[in-house]
Structure 1
Amino acid sequence: MGIIRYSHLLAILLSLLISFIIPHQANGEKPRCNLFQGSWVFNNHSYPFYYNSTCPFITKEFNCESNGRPDLLYLHYGWKPHACTLPRFDGHDFLRRYRGKKIMFVGDSLSYNQWQSLTCMLHATVPNSPYSLVRKESLSNFTIPDYGISIMLSRNAFLVDLVKGKAGPVLKVNSIKGGDAWKGLDTLIFNTWHWWTYKGALQKWKYLEAGTRIFRDFNRLEAFEMGLKTWAQWVDTNVDPSKTKVFFQGISPSHYRGSEWGEPNVKNCAGQTHPLKNSHNLTGFAEPRAVVRSVIKKMRKPVYLLDITMLSQLRKDGHPSYYTDGSRSGMDCTHWCLAGVPDTWNQLLYAALIQK
């Protein structure tokens, strides 16, 4: 009996030890992996999901091929996670799942980048289905009537309120009065960061209002955190998770300093034709990423973080650079060519949507 009891006790202890070592998973559910850790693999057969010739409404600033970009290798890279397989985007399945539903991207021009990518991916799936694309002020709406699906974009660079003041624009980091437009939708994908960093002539606000205090200047990262907490409070108060899925698009990196990817003598993304092979030399964007993670972790309502920062940092080749318009007079290492990197963001979005 003593031996049996000892063996039984040993089995219990071993079971407890394994439960600490191996992450818990529901019955029958396969172990989950981190889809955002991996590398870019050249695949000339499976990518891109569409071409500029099959998406007639690509914005000129994103249409690198039409703007004269001579290299096309950037079109043919797919994201491969280290420990699992990323489901391929299935546009027909997406349309079936979201028949009669509404999806809204809310954010700045990088949300615009991702929104337009998704509309191109869906149009390429059903090229013979009629579509409607309506833009009115800050709202754009792409619909495919045969499926009753609506993919919307609400341009809101800060998520919190930016209002006209007597002495100039005021950024109210504790206020969201425009959130009614976000209510009652099936999926929301939020994004903000890019415009929080600007100073001088490019800064969109003259004064910052925090509570009852007005500031002419403010620490940008702290302001970003305050604004993100206001957004988090709005989600916690107004979103019903049984009806609406909420995503946050992670920080999209720019490539203006080669020192941030291990090439200190490189000024920007011009002439870059291949992704980085690994993340060993990547720097930058750690602080805003940490803020995003911290705020989301403390929320009461579930928010899925599309943590696209690192995988996008590897794509120094993915920006328009000189090919943002026909004149080649600008340099855009912030936005992304279409087809291109945002298609992978949407592939990751699709993978999250089909999870049990």
Structure 2
Amino acid sequence: MKQNLWSSAYYKQNHFVFKLGISILLVGFGFRLLFSQSSDAIPNVTDDNIIDISTPVLENDVKPIPLDFVESPKELNQFQPKDDESEKCDIYDGEWIPNSGSPAYTNNTCRWIESHQNCMGNGRPDTGYVYWKWSPKACELPRFDARKFLEMMRDKSWAFVGDSITRNHLQSFLCLLSQVEDAVELFHDKDYKNRKWHFPSYNLTVSVMWSPFLAKADIFEDINGVSSSEIQLHLDVLDKTWTEQFDTWDYILFSSGKWFIKTAIYYENNSILGCHGCEGKNYTDLGFNFAYQKILKNLFEFIMNSNPKSMIIYRTSTPDHFENGTWSTGGSCDRMVPAKEGEFELADVNRILREIELPEISKAEERASEKGMKLKLLDVTSLSLLRPDGHPGPYRHFYPFAEDKNAKVQYDCLHWCLPGPIDSWNDLLMDLVVNG
């Protein structure tokens, strides 16, 4: 009996050991199988159905992904570089991409385009320049939504203060909004340089103020830009054309730059301080950069001391695309497609303007933030540099080659066709307003 009990116990013990051994072998085989297939279990970064192919591949020095992550692509994405959910996207870093959609307006659907920028109406034969859109590299930039914008701007007022490119920008702004409700003009001066419009259903007013230097300036030019005397520019006195109305606006966009290149006598405290380009006169040539920086400092000091409740936006100066000459020496711009990155470099003048305005705006933004004020940069320089195809060129004139296909006409490679690339400036502007 004892022998039987011992035999039974011995059998059970051996049976247990045998089962344990089999189990260990099976577990070992399972682990080997799992590891041998683990590379297939990690989502393939070239598979569009799992992870977008634009997602950067993990570098070799990154720690291995735990095996319990491999079935969760969403969790795998935590190991990828962060997108604009954690850092605000740079809307100014991008490229122009083809856009098959129709332009938001045409010269037939907007009556606020001035003749010099009415490229379609003046007979420009190619239309490809309107079928591109600005696309930031790291995020989506929504197109200007006129209806949404008007709803946001109920009972508000806007002002665009600056030179003729500012007015060019303003016309694009009006044309986009007028596709929802046409603007009603309330006022214009005799030269149509200072104007005001109203959108009745939204009680939105929009003004444009001609102030090419943003400061007091006596200008002696005709409509074609021919001067009879040097400009008298007061560096220490801002232009009362806009300062007297400054407190009445909710949104103000300032811009300047190009006019500082012109020959001018500089004043301070009503006394001649120096000049720019005044050859033959016994004045110190201080350079246009001196004047631009000094006036920008005065502008931002005025804004800070005014402590406005309005949102202030400063738009950077924009490049021209004259080739084989300048405005007055037969320069032209006949390109019909955007330039590739690096194909155009900023001209020295534009580079100097930019080197002045960016630091001054940055300092002003920091001061404004400390005071709880809204002051923002609208940087259109880089994206505009890539659009040599967007200027009126010879089509600033009405059908310039109608009578003579070889006619010599002055090209405009500074202002912008409407519709055209300048409309994307308002995509950027709306992003500033919505997210600023």
Do the aligned partners of 1:160 and 1:230 also contact (CA within 8 Å) in 2? no
Q: 1:192 aligns with which of 253, 256, 278?
A: 256
Q: 1:41 aligns with which of 97, 103, 112?
A: 97
Shift of 1:44: 2.1
Q: 1:209 aligns with which of 257, 267, 276?
A: 267
Shift of 1:62: 0.6
Deviates more, 1:108-117 or 1:172-181: 172-181
**What's the secondary structure of 1:142's corresponding residue?**
strand
The equivalences for 1:55-70 within 5 A come to 55-70=110-125
**Unaligned 5+ runs, structure 1:** 1-21, 200-204, 261-266
Specify the code of the residue in structure 1 equivalent to 2:88: R
- Would you say 1:172 and 2:244 are equivalent positions? no
**What's the secondary structure of 1:54's corresponding residue?**
coil
Shift of 1:327: 5.6
> In 2 relative to 1, CA 308–269 (structure 1 residues): closer, same or farther, beyond 3 Å?
farther
Do the aligned partners of 1:67 and 1:323 also contact (CA within 8 Å) in 2? yes
> In 2 relative to 1, CA 177–286 (structure 1 residues): closer, same or farther, beyond 3 Å?
closer
Specify the code of the residue in structure 2 equivalent to 1:171: L
> In 2 relative to 1, CA 224–349 (structure 1 residues): closer, same or farther, beyond 3 Å?
same
**What's the secondary structure of 2:394's corresponding residue?**
coil
* CA–CA separation in structure 1 for the residues paired with 2:154 and 2:86: 28
> In 2 relative to 1, CA 268–41 (structure 1 residues): closer, same or farther, beyond 3 Å?
farther
Shift of 1:126: 2.9
**Unaligned 5+ runs, structure 2:** 1-80, 221-228, 277-285, 369-373, 401-408
C-alpha root-mean-square deviation of aligned residues, in Å?
A: 2.5
Do the aligned partners of 2:181 and 2:199 also contact (CA within 8 Å) in 1? no
* CA–CA separation in structure 1 for the residues paired with 2:219 and 2:424: 37
* CA–CA separation in structure 1 for the residues paired with 2:160 and 2:250: 11
Q: 2:320 aligns with which of 249, 254, 260?
A: 254
TM-score (norm: length of structure 1): 0.82
Do the aligned partners of 2:323 and 2:333 also contact (CA within 8 Å) in 1? no
Partner of 1:232: 300
**What's the secondary structure of 2:295's corresponding residue?**
helix
> In 2 relative to 1, CA 72–280 (structure 1 residues): closer, same or farther, beyond 3 Å?
closer
Q: Which has the larger radius of gyration?
A: 2
**What's the secondary structure of 1:103's corresponding residue?**
strand
Do the aligned partners of 1:279 and 1:310 also contact (CA within 8 Å) in 2? no
Shift of 1:268: 4.4
Specify the code of the residue in structure 1 equivalent to 2:204: I
Partner of 1:348: 428
**What's the secondary structure of 2:105's corresponding residue?**
coil
> In 2 relative to 1, CA 177–196 (structure 1 residues): closer, same or farther, beyond 3 Å?
closer
> In 2 relative to 1, CA 341–233 (structure 1 residues): closer, same or farther, beyond 3 Å?
same
Partner of 1:219: 287
* CA–CA separation in structure 2 for the residues paired with 1:338 and 1:256: 19
Partner of 2:378: 306
Specify the code of the residue in structure 1 equivalent to 2:213: F
Moved over 6 A (4+): none
CA deviations 1:172-227 (Å, max 9, x no partner) are 1111151122223110000010110123xxxxx4x211355432433011111111
Q: 1:88 aligns with which of 143, 148, 153?
A: 143
* CA–CA separation in structure 1 for the residues paired with 2:112 and 2:325: 35
Specify the code of the residue in structure 2 equivalent to 1:99: R
Question: For this pair of structures, how many residues does the alignment match?
Answer: 314
Shift of 1:39: 0.8
Partner of 2:214: 159
Partner of 2:345: 282
> In 2 relative to 1, CA 31–135 (structure 1 residues): closer, same or farther, beyond 3 Å?
same
